[in-house]
Structure 1
Amino acid sequence: MTSLAQGFGKSLALTMVSEIGDNSFIAAAILAMRHPRKLVLSGCLTAVITMTVLSAALGWVAPNLIPRKWTHHITTGLFFLFGIWSLWDALTEEEEDEVAEFEAKLDADSKAKKGKTKEGNEADDEVKKQRRPFLAGFFSPIFLKAFSLTFFGEWGDKSQLATIGLAADEDPIGVVLGGIVGQILCTTIAVIGGKSLASRISEKVVELASGVLFMIFGIQSFLSEVEA
C-alpha cells in the first residue's frame, strides 16, 4: 500500500469512527432541524474542511521542524494515548443525553439573542435590512452559526490532534483527502437525518470503537519503520 493510499485509508477510518455521534455531528443534526439544510450543510462542511486542511498542514510542517524519527515516535505515542483515553471514557463515563443537552443550550442562546434584539431600536433594524441583501450573498447568520459551532467544537479534540499526527507520519495529501471525504459523509448524514441517528447511537460504543482504532493505528505505527 502506497503512503498516499495508506494516509487516505487511515484518515477516512479515523474520521468516520470519531465523528459519527460527536458534538459537531449533533450540532449539525439539530441545526438542520431548525434551519435550511443547505445553509447548515455548507457552514458545517466549510468548517470541517478548513479544520482538516489546517490540521494536515500542521502535521506536514512538523517533520521539517523536528526530525522525522521524533515525529514518528510522537505520533505513535499519541495513538496509544488517545486509544487508552477513549477506552477509559467508554468504560467509566455514564451515558448522557447529549442531544437534549445541546438542544437546551441552543434554546437558551436563542432566547438570549431574542432578548437583545428587542432592546434594539427601529433605526438599527433598518440599517440591518439595508445591509442584509449584500451580506446574504456571502455569509448568512445561519451559515456563520453552523461554521462557528463546528469549527470551534472540533478545535483541539482527539480527531484533530490525530489528524495532525497522521499528516506528520503519512502522506499529507492522502490524509487531507481521506479526512475531507470522511467529514463530507459524516456531515451529510448528520444534516439529512442525524438527530434520529444521534439519539440512537451509544456514546460508549463510539468511544470504544475510537479507542480500538487508535490502538490499532498505534501498534501499526510502532511496528513500522521510520522513513528517512
Structure 2
Amino acid sequence: MATVGTALGPMLHNRFLIGLAKSFGVILASEIGDKTFFIAAVMAMRNPRMTVFAGAMGALAAMTVLSAALGWAAPNLISKVYTHYAATALFFFFGLKTLYDAFLKKDEGEESELEQVEHELSDMNKSKSAGSMKDMEKRKSSFMVAMLGMIFSQIFLKSFTLTFLAEWGDRSQIATIGLAASEDVVGVTIGGILGHAICTGAAVLGGRHLASHINERSVAIFGGVMFLLFGAHALWTGP
C-alpha cells in the first residue's frame, strides 16, 4: 500500500504541474491583446486601476473556476477517451483558426480589438448619459442593482460585467474546459487564474500605451503556435 502511495505521489504532482503549465500558457497566448485585455486597459485610463483590476479579475477568476468545473464534470458524463480527443481537436482548431486569422484573413477596413473596445465603451457612455430620467428611475428601482451598488462601486460592477460577458464563449474559456477534462483540474484552475492575473495586471498598469504598441498579428501567431503545440502534446501523450 505504501509502495502504491509512493508511486502515485510523483504522478499526481506531475499531472498538477502539466495542467498548471498548459493552462498558464494557453491564457497568456490567448488573452494578451484580446478583448478582455483591452477592456481593462481602456477602463484603467479613466478609472481607479485597483478597482478596474479587482472587477476584471473577479470575473475572470469566476469564469476560470466555472470552466474548469465543467471540464472536470465532462469525463463523468462522457468517456475519458472522447473528452481527451475532443479537447485535442479544439487545440488544433483554435491554433489553425488563429493562424488563419493572422496570415490570410483580410483586415482592410476592419477595426482592431482596441478600437472596437473604445467605440463600445464610448457608445455605452453616450447611451447612458442620453437615457431619460424615467429609464434611470427604472434602473434605480431594481432591488438587485441597488443591493449590488451598496456593496460594490459602479466601476467595479462595470469592469466585472463587461469582462465576464466578453470572456463567455471565448477561446480561452473553451480551452480551459478542454484542459480540465484531460488534465489536473486544480492545476488548470490555478494556472488559468495566474495567467489572467498577469495579463490583466499588465493591461491595467500599461493602459493605452501598452495596448497601442501591441502587434496583434504577432500575438496571434504566437497564440496559434502555442495551441498547436499543446494539441500535439495531448495527441502524443494520449488519454
TM-score by length of 1: 0.89
Q: Percent identity over the alignment?
A: 46
- 5 Å-filtered alignment, 1:35-50, equals 35-50=47-62
The one-letter amino acid paired with 2:27 is T
- 5 Å-filtered alignment, 1:142-181, equals 142-181=155-194
The one-letter amino acid paired with 2:172 is S
In 1: Cα distance, 2:148 partner to 2:113 partner: 33
- 5 Å-filtered alignment, 1:91-170, equals 91-93=103-105, 94=107, 96-116=111-131, 119-120=132-133, 124=137, 136-170=149-183
The one-letter amino acid paired with 1:165 is G
- CA distance change for structure 1 residues 110 and 219 in 2, over 3 Å: closer, same or farther? same
Unaligned 5+ residue runs, structure 1? none
In 2: Cα distance, 1:46 partner to 1:120 partner: 31
Q: How big is the shift at 1:148?
A: 1.1
In 1: Cα distance, 2:148 partner to 2:112 partner: 36
Deviation >6 Å, runs of 4+: none
The one-letter amino acid paired with 1:112 is S
Q: Secondary structure at the match of 1:43?
A: helix
In 2: Cα distance, 1:134 partner to 1:85 partner: 42
In 2: Cα distance, 1:135 partner to 1:155 partner: 21
**8 A contact 2:102–2:217 mirrored in 1:** yes
Size of the aligned set, in residue pairs, is 220
Q: 1:6 aligns with which of 9, 18, 21?
A: 18
In 2: Cα distance, 1:168 partner to 1:100 partner: 35
Equivalence for 1:61: 73
Deviates more, 1:157-166 or 1:87-96: 87-96
Q: How big is the shift at 1:96?
A: 3.8
In 2: Cα distance, 1:133 partner to 1:144 partner: 12
Q: How big is the shift at 1:39?
A: 1.5
In 2: Cα distance, 1:135 partner to 1:21 partner: 30
TM-score by length of 2: 0.85
Unaligned 5+ residue runs, structure 2? 1-12
